[in-house]
Every structure is written in structure tokens, then in C-alpha cells.
Amino acid sequence: MPSTFNYDFSGHGWEGKTSFNTGLFIGGKFVDGVEGKTIDVFNPTTGQEICKVSEGGAKDIDLAVQAAHKAYNESWGMKVPPTQRAKLLLNLADLIDKHSDELAALESLDNGKAFAIAKKVDVCGAASVFRYYAGWCDKNGGKVIEVDEIWMLSWKLGPALATGNVVVLKPSEFTPLTALRTAQLIQEAGFPPGVVNIVTGYGNTAGAAISSHMEIEKVAFTGSTVVGRYIMKAAAESNLKSKYADPHLFFLQLIGMVVTDVTLELGGKSPNIICDDADLDQAVKWSAFGIFFNHGQCCCAGSRVYVQEDIYDKFMQKFTDHIKTLKVGDPFHKETFQGPQVSKIQFDRIMGYIEKGKQEGATVLMGGEQHGTEGYFIQPTVFTDVKPNMTIVKDEIFGPVVVVSKFKNDEEIIATSNDSMYGLAAAIFSQNISRAIKLANALHAGTVWVNQYNTLHESVPFGGFKQSGIGRELGEYALANYTNVKSIHVNLTKEL
């Protein structure tokens, strides 16, 4: 039998307890993996093991696929009216709100995100996404045409369930706890067994099995561009999973390793442009939020900051002064803004990029070292004197590291900003709205913010250009990822 995770958060900022099963969630039940293996889950704040969760592999994915097909054919899909799907999604949203402190605490425990931010942004945002897609359940039924002759887990689950799909979900092996607790809430909300299946496992086993599975017709993935390429390749070599595949079986992998229908929300190296007519105080605060939110582990992080040369010195003074006020530490402390990186692997990867930046001649204006001696904390790091061909300017670092450069005019900054294989997001700070809109239209990015950063809404689509992904999350656009267009011609009057 799978183990039960029990944890007392007393003294951590939330005085509560949690208890839930750590098995694979298949067919409405928690079960051990076929091979009986487990995954160690660590607290990035201390580097110590929290618990073990069941490890799923290819055989477990097969069982989850079978359970999903059974649910679709017997108790979901066309068997459940849209109004009932809406009711269940609203039930789930209410339960997420009810347990918001517990879910935020779990996010902080295995992810390292500041508790206050996890609750306000991630948990409350997830509830809002489920409510939003509940409203779409009975409004996405296609059209009758008279002629002569349909904040990460909720982004995928919301539209997929609203459109009547069944789901096999693989969360990141680094941060599985919230997904497993949500499985219990899905049960409590009243979803039929097998509609949502959650298989914890590694990308090169469970993830690979999903991306090449012959009976999975659609996959959505959030993660790196490198892994996205592997998923596209595996999809093409299996059953040609495509955006308009036929069945309703859907797989989701949240940030970690692998994906397949192929909707991909991938990496970014997003430019943040500070014009000479910007409100500097606001630009400073939003720019810091844009890069150091979630410890820089944000696909749309504003990791390339470009400042118009006339205001560069003034901006940099204010920027560094503000960064010094950001509290790095225990995510359960109320004043903490930046917690630890999610894992030792990610910590080492980021520190490697910092060393690479130094070797290539960039200047570390501040930070550049480990913060403290325990856990996976990294000081907020600012590089200057960078050149376009430097690794830290081109690569997605996915950490609290920003490069800052000068620019002369709008024509130059458009070319510089677009000189990237990525195109996920960008931002412009200017009090001249006409100038800002002109720049926004010229940037090759799926999302452009004006005088703000990292603000997302469930009704507004999100996704990238170029190698930052395929398809869109959120909003009405996301529904197209989980539906197919089908034409039925009925002859009522014509005779041969």
C-alpha cells in the first residue's frame, strides 16, 4: 500500500497540518507503482528529504491510459452534460479556496516559493482558472451552419476538463506534493474515477512513455525548449500526435521533463525595455519583480533588461538599491520575497551560468554567490558590461540572474530585443502610450506588458513565438487545444 504523508506546519507561518496519500492516482484510487519504486522529495530550503512518493513507469502509464479511456467511454465526455462538468469544476475551485493555506504551504515546502506569494498568486489563481473554464463548459459546443447540402496544473486541467477530456498528469518529480493533494480534492469534488489520473515519475521513464504512447492523442507541456524538441520527435514517431488528434485522452506534464497533441509552453529570454520617458521608480520595482519573482524560475522572467542610455546610471542606482531590500530566506517567513531554487540540480546549473558569465568578461554588479550555507539559495545577481554573444545573454538561466545593457533609440532596441531564438514575453516602460504600443507591435513575443511585468489573467491567452512554444494557454484560445472540429452533413431536401 502507498504511504501517507503527514506534516505539521506549526512554526512555519501557517499553523496547520496536512495528510494525504503519496501513491499514484489511477482510476480514482491511490496505488503503488508496478515496480514498487519511490522518488525522494526534498525541501529546497534545507536540502533535507521531506518524504518519498511512488515512482511510475511505462506500465503505470498504460494503466492510467486504460483508466482514462474507461472513464471517457462510461462516465465522462459525451456522457456528462456541460452543466455538470461546470458544477464539478466549480466544486474543485471552492475546495481549493477552502484549503488555500494548506496548498500554499505545500508549494512552499517542496518548491521554495514564498508562502504569501504562493497563496495569492498560485493557489488563488488556480481557483480562478477553474471557475473561468467552468463558465465555458456550456458555451463551447460548436456551431450549426445551414448550407445547401469544442497560475500550471489549472491551466491544463481547466480547459481539458471543461471540454470533456480525460487526463493523465505527470507533475515534476521535484514538486509533486500539491498535485497529489489536489487529487484528493478532485475526488471530493465528485469527478468520476479515471477522469483525472496523476502519475508521479521521472521524465526519461514516465514522461517518455507518455510522449510515445500510441493511445495518447494529445499532450500539453510546460518546460524547457530542449525537452520540447524531444517530445515533438517522440510524438511524430508514435501516432503522429497533432493539435487536431481524434480522441479525448489528454496528457499533461508540468514543469520538469517531458510532453506530447503538441501544445508546448517552453522557455524564454524575455527583454524588459526601460525607455527614457519611463516612471523610473515604478520601472525599478516592476523590473525586480519581473526577474526575481519565484526566484527567477519563471519561463517569462524579464532576464534581459535594456535601459536607454540617458537614464542608465540613475536607473541602475535605484535598481540595485531596491534589490537590496528584497528578503531572501525561508519561504514561510512573512517578509521573504525570494526563496531557494527548486533543487540541487537547478542550483548547480544557475551557479554554472554565473561562473560562465564571469569567464566571458561580464561584470557582476551585485550577487553572484550562494546565499547562506544551507539549502539552495542564490543571491539576486545583476550582470553588466555584457555583449550580445555571451552565454548569459542568449541562454535561459531560469534563476535570479539578470543582465542589464544600454540602448540608444527605438530602432536599435527592437532589433536587439528580437535577436533571440525565444519569443515568450517582453515588457516596455514608457509614459508615452503611443510609443509603447508601437514598440509592443514590433516585438516578436507572445505577451507584451506595458508598465508592468508578470501579470497574467485567466481570460487572456499566454504563449510564445519562435522556440518559446506552440499553442496558447488560458482564455478562449486554450479551448482549441482540447477540442476537434467535426463536420456532419445531413441531407434534408435534395434527391438524386
Integer Cα distance of 134 and 90 in angstroms? 6
Q: Is 57 in contact with 79 (CB distance < 8 Å)?
A: no
Integer Cα distance of 94 and 30 in angstroms? 23
156 Ramachandran zone, left/alpha/beta (phi>0; psi -120 to 50)? alpha
Least Cα distance to 161 among 176, 140, 142 occurs for 140
Q: Is 272 in contact with 305 (CB distance < 8 Å)?
A: yes
79 Cβ contact list (under 8 Å, min separation 6): none
Q: Is 52 in contact with 22 (CB distance < 8 Å)?
A: yes
Q: Which residue is catalytic, options 51, 137, 275, 299?
A: 299
Integer Cα distance of 243 and 245 in angstroms? 6
Integer Cα distance of 139 and 144 in angstroms? 13
Q: Which residue is catalytic, options 55, 173, 217, 265?
A: 265
Q: Is 299 a catalytic residue?
A: yes
Distance, first Cα to last Cα, the chain: 66
Integer Cα distance of 112 and 237 in angstroms? 37
Integer Cα distance of 21 and 30 in angstroms? 7
390 Cβ contact list (under 8 Å, min separation 6): 357, 360, 361, 362, 403
Integer Cα distance of 423 and 269 in angstroms? 8
Sign, CA dihedral 118-119-125-127, equals: positive
Q: Is 265 a catalytic residue?
A: yes
- Map grid coordinates 482514462 to a residue: 68
Integer Cα distance of 218 and 263 in angstroms? 8
Q: Is 244 in contact with 262 (CB distance < 8 Å)?
A: no
Q: Is 261 in contact with 216 (CB distance < 8 Å)?
A: no
At residue 411, φ and ψ (nearest 5 deg) are: -60, -40
**CA distance readout (Å), 341 to 124, 262, 286, 346, 368:** 22, 28, 21, 7, 14
Q: Which residues participate in catalysis according to the annotation?
A: 265, 299
